[in-house]
């Protein structure tokens, strides 16, 4: 299951968060592989590290007879385009190099993806079934005869496949994903994994939710005026919100009679305390999903319906499209008017996130439910989807929910997703897929007061409560514990509910530490114990939040912890008060990237996809909530990327209204290229392109579009599609995707990439191109050009390292300017005429790259050549491990069952043992057998708590291979499973353990050489004295003088 991530009422920022098993990732170059990492080869000098061999993505499953040419494939001239046909067999979709299945196929709920294309991307090729994918600029017509016939065909075929196993699908998907949610036994899962129609099997996960003045801070009133006024802003657009439901009685969703778009055909599903009448014209769709999460796991405080049980979904939905509400009060404080970004839009609620029963289930969202909700949302006809949910770690594009979102985008639906709240550390974000708009969180207003101590010192912090104007006695919460002992003091120090002694706290200003307990629950604990006010202090760097607390409160940064706590502990009668600020007392600036907002660079893309994409307000966002669990409040302040993502979704709805023919990626481009830097940072790994500016996005000048053909090319570049599929589509590096950003994770001196722009303005414009990236030179060809409205132009960009440090990121910007006046945005400055189109740039220069991760040869004496590409000028050294010999072992196995959780030899399972010494470079095992047989290989290491599964070779053939880099010392046990073989079927088994030293039978020529940056150097690998009755394996590693970025090539010699 997924766990979505949210910010509970005054809780720590989180989004409905996904907990996932280790997944294939492209490491940031320079990473040191983890011990026991399994690798598969690439040809670009980077190694895809994964937990199973031949695991390829269940990709976009696009059965494409014709795919529109990608913008990034355009070649020169004023225009680009033209359709090209594929040569893959009809109806087979993207033929993958292998399958992605879990490391352990245990009993449980799975999302199974099948080979053929879903309706959203099916462009013909299956006999008797017309194409169903929508034409560019049009929505998918789910009611058409072609779609109905084709989806029935998919569902019937998938049901037949599952029936043969005795398994019954809970849900069948056919719109944005061709798949099913199904409960399987371990044996059924193993059998299904071998079916040639199966592309992937993903075990159900639980994810968590990533959780006024925002419209004014973004300049939306001017945009609303241009769209016919506030009440019409978003008219004709439906936003689908995948979250915890909706509170229909909220003033943000008041009934209205404006027309529902005729393209929307969703339903209103009744349930606990929710009827069809709750779909009131503002709310036009309501569905809830329990098949993945399980009704038995839902808390009694939640509702078995679309009614919101936490407030998170109500907050995100009202942030995106909530009506204008006047004179909003939170408690006794007046906040004025509150509005969503697109108040004239409609909302469809898809409840996928649930409050779990305490001690039984985690609060969160199940991935099968998320997939089904995306499927339904696209079928219903939504224009925009918001997903304020995701994982605690980066999800690869192979996740079923990511793929469903890709097909939704191809069907014309814009999808916004929260980046996550695990910042400020690097590489903490989620949602790296290029078809998603991944949103970081920013501050947008200043709500502050000061703690003034009796000695006159003042400390400025976040506060939106009433002041505490009189000097009041202060007490450290940890000294007021109800329960004696260390545990009691710890709970009291955090101001946990019921932990404070009223006899000590009554009438006092209580100092509480942030952490573990939702922030507003701390002030509630203070109030319940009779406290007069609260000072909350961060024990470590983190955001400051002006929550609506139950007593006068101020939230201080970690640097104030020591002086404040020392004063309270040391003074005879410590006193303090919470007071408004003086005129120049605060130097807090806005906007800033929130401390909690997750950062890049992306690891699963090797840094070639720049994430997050952009930022929006996500700190102290005021929006509607559920009153029953918010102390009767109808509105409240919440923080998190859960709050920033629906702001982008709402603005995307405005762009869709203004430009109905724009693709989702054109909308994304417009938002990115018109964004601004934050007050104190332009770091693209924190802010992406920057804070959105909706008014400028309405008229961006140029856009950078990309779609399914580009994504196919990108995935082929990752070697996730075989070379003979879609032969008219050449593989591209991720840096070549036509995004409104530039990211290169592995630059060795220089690389040429392209970007294709389209003029979406109403007049011809002349653009000049220039870049500002310290340490790099980016040369554009052409460096200037003129485009008429609607014309496109491809620009070649030569990226060269000049002085940027190796293995470190160089960042800056690339600007296409037609402006007369300032040639760069500076805060709120705008050009007097024309447009400024600005792209964030992030490039990591590498010391070395090698063109082949593995070479092979034959004979007692022989050689192979590799090409080493240096990113520096200087000395390159090499080191050799091996070669070591193995005599292939002949064995046989019959078909049988294997329990990966309790591995044991027996009928159908053979066992081998390998001993790995300290300092070993690599362990490799492989099997080889006749065609038609299917073996699986499982590699475990003996650990203190049992066997640790480190790798699986689990393709549909009998030729399996598992490679563990830098394995930890110990005893390894290898199990060969006869999954589908005859009786006593013979096979060949090979096993190598390569030490970290040379065996003297492999030489590198030259072993050391002087490299010139950017000039590839041919290097010979020569072996000699090998016994041809054995097979040999080893490794050669090349390094720069500082050993900052070593690269390795494996060598195999047979016969």
Residue positions annotated with a catalytic role = 243, 312, 642
Q: Which residue has the tokens 């549909």?
A: 956
Length of the chain: 1055
What DSSP letter does each residue of 950-975 carry, written as one string?
EEEE--SSS--EEEEESPPSEEEEEE
796 closest CA partner among 776, 769, 819: 769
Instruction: Find out whether 938 and 104 touch, Cβ atoms under 8 Å.
Output: no
Using alpha carbons, select from 142, 58, 99, 705 the residue that is nearest to residue 404.
58
545: which 2 tokens? 């939040």
Question: Are 45 and 849 spatial neighbours (Cβ–Cβ below 8 Å)?
Answer: yes
Paired residues of 1053 in beta bridges: 857, 1032
Angle at CA of residue 515, ends 314 and 602, nearest 5°: 70
Q: Are 375 and 176 in contact (CB under 8 A)?
A: yes
Distance (Å, rounded) from C-alpha 936 to C-alpha 945?
24
Q: What are phi and psi of 169, to 5 degrees?
A: -75, 135
Kindly tell me the number of DSSP H helices and DSSP E strands found in the chain. 16, 58
SS (H, E, C) 253-294: HCCCCCCCCCCCCCCECCECCECHHHCCCCEEEEEECCCCCC
3-state secondary structure of 381: coil
DSSP annotation of 210 reads B
At 363, list the tokens. Answer: 């609060």
Among 320, 226, 225, CA closest to 699: 226
Give the C-alpha separation, 4 to 9, whole Å.
16
Query: Using an 8 Å Cβ cutoff, are 1035 and 994 in contact?
Result: yes
Only one residue has tokens 């939710």, namely 209
Residue 903 near residue 936 (C-beta atoms within 8 A): no
Q: Choose among 317, 612, 625: nearest CA to 442.
A: 612
Tokens 């509910």 belong to residue:
497
Query: 164: which 2 tokens?
Result: 């043969």
**Bridge pairing between strands 836-845 and 934-943:** unpaired
Peptide bond into 50 cis (omega under 30): no
Q: How far is CA 125 from CA 68, 89, 128, in A?
A: 16, 8, 9
Q: How far is CA 50 from CA 29, 105, 498, 768, in A?
A: 15, 17, 47, 43
Please name every residue paired with 816 in a beta bridge, in sequence order, or none if there are none: 769, 837
Q: Which of 913, 924, 893, 921 is nearest to 991 (CA)?
A: 924
Cβ atoms < 10 Å from Cβ of 664: 28
Q: In whole angstroms, what is the distance from residue 123 CA to residue 130 CA?
A: 8
Q: Are 1037 and 1005 in contact (CB under 8 A)?
A: no
Give the Cα separation of 564 and 842 in Å (integer).
Answer: 41
Say which residue the tokens 């766990």 belong to. 3
Q: Which residues of 665-695 are buried (b: 16+ CB within 10 A; e: fewer)?
A: bbbbbbbbbbbbbbeeeebbbbbbbbbbbbb
Pairing relationship of beta strands 776-781 and 384-387 according to DSSP bridges: unpaired
């Amino acid at each position: 299951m997924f766990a979505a991530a949210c910010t509970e009422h005054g809780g720590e920022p989180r989004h409905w968060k996904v907990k996932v098993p280790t997944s294939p990732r492209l490491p940031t170059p320079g990473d040191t592989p983890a011990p026991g990492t399994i690798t598969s080869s690439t040809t670009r000098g980077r190694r895809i590290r994964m937990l199973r061999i031949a695991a390829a993505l269940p990709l976009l499953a696009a059965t494409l007879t014709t795919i529109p040419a990608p913008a990034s494939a355009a070649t020169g001239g004023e225009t680009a385009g033209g359709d090209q046909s594929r040569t893959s067999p009809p109806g087979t979709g993207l033929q993958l190099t292998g399958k992605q299945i879990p490391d352990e196929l245990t009993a449980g709920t799975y999302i199974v993806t099948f080979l053929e294309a879903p309706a959203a991307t099916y462009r013909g090729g299956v006999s008797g079934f017309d194409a169903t994918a929508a034409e560019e600029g049009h929505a998918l017509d789910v009611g058409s005869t072609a779609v109905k016939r084709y989806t029935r065909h998919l569902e019937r075929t998938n049901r037949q496949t599952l029936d043969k196993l005795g398994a019954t699908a809970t849900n069948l998907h056919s719109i944005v994903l061709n798949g099913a949610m199904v409960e399987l036994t371990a044996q059924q899962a193993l059998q299904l994994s071998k079916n040639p129609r199966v592309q992937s099997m993903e075990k159900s996960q639980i994810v968590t939710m990533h959780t006024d003045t925002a419209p004014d801070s973004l300049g939306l009133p001017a945009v609303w005026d241009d769209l016919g006024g506030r009440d019409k802003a978003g008219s004709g657009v439906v936003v689908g919100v995948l979250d915890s439901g909706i509170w229909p009685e909220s003033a943000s969703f008041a009934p209205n009679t404006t027309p529902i778009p005729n393209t929307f055909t969703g339903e209103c599903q009744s349930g606990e305390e929710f009827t069809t009448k709750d779909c009131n014209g503002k709310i036009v769709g309501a569905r809830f999903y329990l098949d993945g999460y399980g009704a038995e796991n839902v808390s009694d405080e939640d509702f078995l319906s679309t009614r919101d049980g936490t407030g998170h979904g109500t907050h995100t939905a009202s942030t995106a499209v909530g009506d204008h509400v006047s004179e909003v009060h939170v408690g006794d404080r007046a906040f004025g008017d509150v509005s969503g970004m697109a108040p004239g839009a409609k909302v469809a609620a898809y409840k996928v996130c649930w409050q779990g029963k305490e001690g039984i289930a985690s609060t969160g969202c199940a991935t099968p439910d998320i997939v089904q909700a995306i499927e339904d949302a696209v079928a219903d006809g939504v224009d925009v989807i918001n997903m304020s949910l995701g994982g605690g770690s980066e999800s690869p594009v192979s996740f079923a929910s990511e793929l469903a979102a890709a097909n939704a985008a191809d069907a014309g639906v814009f999808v916004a997703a929260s980046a996550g709240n695990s910042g400020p550390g690097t590489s903490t974000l989620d949602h790296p897929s290029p078809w998603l708009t991944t949103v970081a969180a920013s501050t947008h207003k200043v709500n502050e007061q000061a703690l003034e101590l009796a000695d006159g010192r003042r400390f400025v912090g976040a506060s939106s409560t009433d002041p505490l104007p009189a000097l009041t006695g202060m007490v450290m919460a940890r000294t007021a514990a109800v329960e004696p002992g260390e545990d009691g003091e710890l709970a009291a120090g955090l101001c946990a509910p019921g932990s404070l002694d009223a006899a000590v706290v009554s009438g006092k200003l209580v100092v509480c530490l942030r952490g573990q307990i939702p922030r507003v629950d701390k002030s509630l604990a203070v109030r319940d114990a009779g406290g007069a006010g609260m000072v909350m202090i961060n024990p470590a760097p983190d955001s400051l939040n002006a929550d609506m607390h139950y007593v006068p409160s101020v939230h201080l940064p970690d640097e104030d912890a020591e002086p404040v706590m020392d004063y309270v502990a040391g003074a005879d009668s410590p006193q303090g008060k919470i007071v408004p600020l003086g005129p120049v007392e605060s130097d807090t600036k806005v906007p800033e990237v929130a401390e909690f907002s997750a950062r890049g660079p992306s690891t699963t893309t090797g840094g070639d996809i720049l994430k997050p994409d952009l930022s929006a307000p996500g700190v102290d966002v005021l929006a509607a909530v559920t009153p029953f669990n918010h102390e009767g409040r109808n509105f409240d302040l919440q923080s998190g990327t859960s709050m920033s993502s629906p702001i982008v979704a709402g603005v995307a709805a405005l762009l869709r209204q203004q430009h109905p023919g724009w693709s989702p990626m054109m909308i994304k481009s417009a938002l990115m290229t018109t964004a601004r830097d934050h007050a104190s940072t332009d770091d693209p790994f924190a802010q992406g392109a920057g804070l959105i500016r909706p008014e400028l996005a309405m008229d961006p000048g140029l856009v950078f579009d990309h779609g399914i053909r580009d994504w196919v090319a990108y995935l082929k570049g990752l070697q996730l599609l075989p070379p003979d599929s879609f032969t008219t589509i050449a593989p591209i590096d991720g840096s070549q995707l036509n995004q409104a950003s530039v990211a290169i994770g592995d630059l060795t001196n220089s690389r040429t990439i392209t970007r294709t722009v389209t003029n979406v303005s109403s007049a011809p414009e002349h653009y000049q191109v220039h870049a500002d990236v310290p340490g790099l030179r980016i040369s554009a060809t052409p460096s200037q050009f003129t485009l008429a409205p609607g014309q496109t132009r491809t620009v070649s960009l030569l990226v060269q390292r000049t002085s940027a440090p190796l293995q470190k990121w160089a960042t800056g910007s690339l600007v296409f300017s037609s402006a007369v006046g300032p040639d760069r945005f500076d805060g709120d400055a705008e050009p007097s005429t024309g447009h400024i189109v600005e792209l964030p740039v992030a490039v990591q220069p590498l010391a070395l790259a090698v063109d082949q991760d593995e070479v092979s040869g034959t004979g007692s004496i022989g050689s192979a050549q590799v090409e080493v590409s240096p990113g520096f000028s200087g000395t390159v050294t090499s080191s050799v491990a091996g070669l070591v010999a193995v005599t292939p072992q002949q064995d046989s196995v019959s078909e049988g069952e294997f329990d990966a959780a309790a591995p044991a030899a027996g009928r159908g399972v053979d066992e081998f043992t390998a001993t790995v010494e300290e300092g070993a470079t690599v362990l490799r095992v492989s099997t080889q057998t006749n065609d038609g047989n299917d073996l699986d290989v499982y590699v475990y290491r003996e650990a203190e708590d049992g066997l640790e599964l480190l790798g699986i070779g689990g393709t549909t053939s009998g030729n399996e291979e598992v490679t563990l880099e830098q394995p930890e010392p110990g005893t390894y046990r290898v199990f060969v499973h006869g999954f589908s073989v005859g009786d006593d079927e013979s096979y060949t088994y090979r096993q190598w353990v390569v030490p970290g030293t040379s065996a003297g039978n492999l030489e590198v020529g030259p072993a050391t050489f002087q490299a010139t940056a950017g000039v590839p150097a041919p290097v010979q690998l020569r072996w000699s004295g090998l016994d041809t009755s054995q097979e040999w394996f080893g490794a050669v590693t090349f390094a720069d003088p500082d050993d900052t970025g070593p690269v390795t090539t494996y060598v195999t010699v047979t016969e």
